[in-house]
Chain A
Amino acid sequence: MLLASKLALARAARGGSRRLRRGGTTVPGRVLLRLEPRAIALLGRRLGRGSAVISATNGKTTTAAMIAAIMAHAGVALVHNRAGSNMNWGVATALLDAGHSPAELGLFEVDEAWLAAVARDLEPDVFVLSNLFRDQLDRYGELELLADRWAEVVAERAGRSKFLLNADDPLVADLGRGQAQVTYFGVEDASIASPELQHAADSKRCRNCGAAYAYESAYLAHLGHYRCQSCGRERPRPAVAAERVALHGMTGAEIDLRLREGRLDRLRLPLPGLYNVYNAIAAAAAAVELGASPAAVRAGLEGFAGAFGRVETIAVGGRDLSILLVKNPAGANEVLRTLTLEDGSFDLWLALNDHTADGRDVSWIWDADFELLAGRVHSATCSGTRAEEMALRLKYAGVEAPTAVERDLGRSLDAALAGGDGGALYALPTYTALLELRDLLARRGVAGRWAD
């Protein structure tokens, strides 16, 4: 069978795959790889600008989305597994869309355990490796073993790929020792460091000699400024660094970013937390390596609205609650289209707030295509400061489902969880409603405050 026929079959599988989670991004790639085990290699060659892979325990999706945002400002067309399906079939699914334009860049987040397999086929030009934390020991095994496998990948690709590595994670930084084409990124602001390593720190000992690292600054888990007291191995000085970090609670952060190509002072990151500062500097380093200008980095990062609030599913009260941020017509439409891939009808919880961070003008809900949901909703619950107007939008969209209105977020969520058909419940909050919801779920002990 010709590759074109195999692609057609895999695309048909995508069309027929109607499950929201994994279904749309997993099945087509699985079909394709079944038909053509070398599909990633074959399709990867169609990428005129080559490809970059992003791997880490935390922040892959966000980092990849940030890079994508920067590259969009740089005018680069992307093939990107933006839905976060990051094993080889997810990459294969994304590659089904390769070759639409001659100068595409492949941008793939890759599960840390799949990095070797994907890299072997894809032969990426750029690796962005951000962190390794303890995670799902039953699947990934020990952290050191994972680091060993990453080291093999780097050795295999040495001289052919460029590596962007987190200087602050000793497990990751070690991968670049003795390599030529390495760019490090890191944080350099002692004012935000903890006096000692957090309890959760994983890699406290030197990979070279096994002695304990001494930390001058500990930023996050085992990320920081370290030096082996025995052999002297220490954190490499990064070319890309956040020299000043101001964390503004839930609303975001501001950093002074040093790049080889210049400085980006007072760079405002719309995502909260030091995790996202790391995601941003990784994205900045990668994007510059991929040809983006510092101005594009600023524009991409400051305007970033991507992965935060992407699909998250949390078990609450015996039900799967999937949370999808909606805050503008374009984003909401993507969410609504995703929902329409579900089989049958589903329960919906919508929270429309009009605080400053949401936009006080809620007219945008009339520009979003809620009509897509007509006939698909089993029951709807509307919440938030403008709950009634959200409910009205559903009525005029032809969503003929029983619709409850309760402005109070907690009460409305409880009602939504208790009602409906017991299947999947989709939560579509605006930004501040998402924060409220996450706080609520965190207080109830069913979710961390942040996904990444």
Chain B
Amino acid sequence: MNEPTLRVCALYPDLMNIYADRGNIAVLRARCLWRGLGFELGSAGLGEPLDPDAHDLFYIGGGQDRDQVSVARDMVATKRAALHAAAEREAVVLAVCGGYQLLGHSYQLGADELPGVGLVDLRTVRTPGPRLIGNCAIECDLGTGPRVLAGFENHGGRTYLGAAAQPLGRVLRGHGNNGSDRTEGARRGNVFGTYLHGPLLPKNHWLADRLIELALGVRLAPLEDSLELAAHESARRAAGL
């Protein structure tokens, strides 16, 4: 029997990569290959079309402000429809930090407003005040019971969820979406957004596995994960948990 292949598409990997986002891809890749699953990595950059059916998991990371402006406009112009189609057919979308902000309706930067792709009912604003920086831990449930995600957040924007959105998790330590309502990230079906980098998946191998399961519709056998568990504990400890 042929083992399935996880087909990942990295969005704007040359621009949206400032928090070692490639670590997330590396973990997905290794954990597929170690299980005998296939792994394919594609990408879509500025101006490039996106085929919603060609990939099982779409990833977008964080970028610098100037790059995020170009990416926001391009994403709306060339990839919005494909991302909506992908979400409709329950492909996984994982967006971290800057990429997460672009999932919503808009990102208000002073007088400017960056458009979002509107995949999730949320808005982000940058208000005066310090960036929200630090180790962070949240509790979430992705259908396998309550689990902890640990990571590092560093964002100037404050994200507010609309009535149709649910948070990814509840802040245990750190700031979360806006530093005030104790929510962190957002989820709609298989679309996930979060401010947690560090990168996210190396610190939370269980999430990597869960995303592979959701993307491929499979159940994964466990791996020898003592080091992964220790690294997760280390990130939790750094967050004060």
A contact residues vs B (CB 8 Å cutoff) = 329, 354, 360-367, 385-389, 391-393, 395-396, 403, 405
Are A391's CB and B231's CB within 8 A? yes
17 new A-B contacts, CB < 8 A, other than A361-B19, A363-B197, are: A360-B238, A363-B23, A364-B20, A365-B20, A366-B26, A366-B202, A367-B23, A388-B230, A388-B231, A388-B234, A389-B202, A389-B203, A392-B227, A395-B227, A396-B23, A396-B26, A403-B227
15 example contacts (A-B, Cβ-Cβ < 8 A) are as follows A360-B135, A360-B152, A360-B238, A361-B152, A363-B199, A366-B20, A366-B23, A367-B20, A386-B234, A388-B233, A389-B202, A389-B231, A389-B234, A392-B231, A396-B23
In the docked arrangement, what's the CA distance between A403 and B23, Å?
20
In the docked arrangement, what's the CA distance between A360 and B174, Å?
14
Of the four ranges (under 10, 10 to 19, 20 to 34, 35 or more), the interface on chain B belongs to 20 to 34
In the docked arrangement, what's the CA distance between A340 and B234, Å?
29
Chain A: interface secondary structure? helix
Are B227's CB and A386's CB within 8 A? no
In the docked arrangement, what's the CA distance between A386 and B198, Å?
12
A100 to chain B, nearest CB (A): 26
B235 to chain A, nearest CB (A): 7
Q: For A366, list chain B residues within 8 Å (CB).
A: 20, 22-23, 26, 199, 202
B contact residues vs A (CB 8 Å cutoff) = 19-20, 22-23, 26-27, 30, 134-135, 152, 154, 197-199, 202-203, 227-228, 230-231, 233-235, 238
Q: For B230, list chain A residues within 8 Å (CB).
A: 388, 391-392, 405
B184 to chain A, nearest CB (A): 17
In the docked arrangement, what's the CA distance between A391 and B27, Å?
14
A49 to chain B, nearest CB (A): 33
B25 to chain A, nearest CB (A): 10
- Known A-B contacts A388-B231, A392-B228; A360 and B199 likewise in contact (beta carbons under 8 Å): no
In the docked arrangement, what's the CA distance between A354 and B238, Å?
9
In the docked arrangement, what's the CA distance between A391 and B202, Å?
11
B29 nearest in chain A by CB position: A396
B57 to chain A, nearest CB (A): 18
In the docked arrangement, what's the CA distance between A385 and B26, Å?
23
In the docked arrangement, what's the CA distance between A387 and B238, Å?
12
Q: For A364, list chain B residues within 8 Å (CB).
A: 20
Partner of B19, one of A363, A387, A392, A395: A363
Q: Which 6 A-B pairs have the closest CB atoms?
A: A366-B23, A366-B20, A388-B230, A392-B231, A363-B20, A388-B234
A403 nearest in chain B by CB position: B227
Q: For B30, list chain A residues within 8 Å (CB).
A: 396
B204 to chain A, nearest CB (A): 11
Are B23's CB and A386's CB within 8 A? no
- Known A-B contacts A360-B135, A364-B20, A366-B202; A386 and B26 likewise in contact (beta carbons under 8 Å): no
Q: For A361, list chain B residues within 8 Å (CB).
A: 19, 152, 154, 197-198
Q: For A393, list chain B residues within 8 Å (CB).
A: 202
Interface-central residue, A362, A364, A366, by most chain B CB under 10 Å: A366
Are A362's CB and B198's CB within 8 A? yes
B22 nearest in chain A by CB position: A366
A371 to chain B, nearest CB (A): 9
Q: For B19, list chain A residues within 8 Å (CB).
A: 361, 363
Q: For A367, list chain B residues within 8 Å (CB).
A: 20, 22-23
Are B20's CB and A396's CB within 8 A? no
Q: For A360, list chain B residues within 8 Å (CB).
A: 134-135, 152, 238
Are B20's CB and A389's CB within 8 A? no
A348 to chain B, nearest CB (A): 16
In the docked arrangement, what's the CA distance between A366 and B238, Å?
18
Q: For B27, list chain A residues within 8 Å (CB).
A: 396
B35 to chain A, nearest CB (A): 15
Are A386's CB and B233's CB within 8 A? no
In the docked arrangement, what's the CA distance between A324 and B71, Å?
37
B102 to chain A, nearest CB (A): 20
B20 nearest in chain A by CB position: A366
A305 to chain B, nearest CB (A): 19
A315 to chain B, nearest CB (A): 32
A389 nearest in chain B by CB position: B231
A404 to chain B, nearest CB (A): 11
- Known A-B contacts A363-B20, A366-B22; A392 and B202 likewise in contact (beta carbons under 8 Å): yes
B31 nearest in chain A by CB position: A396
A104 to chain B, nearest CB (A): 30
In the docked arrangement, what's the CA distance between A366 and B235, Å?
15
In the docked arrangement, what's the CA distance between A388 and B233, Å?
9
Q: For A386, list chain B residues within 8 Å (CB).
A: 234, 238
Are B227's CB and A391's CB within 8 A? yes
Q: For B238, list chain A residues within 8 Å (CB).
A: 354, 360, 385-386
B123 to chain A, nearest CB (A): 26
In the docked arrangement, what's the CA distance between A253 and B235, Å?
33
A358 to chain B, nearest CB (A): 12
B93 to chain A, nearest CB (A): 21
A386 nearest in chain B by CB position: B234
Q: For A365, list chain B residues within 8 Å (CB).
A: 20
In the docked arrangement, what's the CA distance between A387 and B230, Å?
9
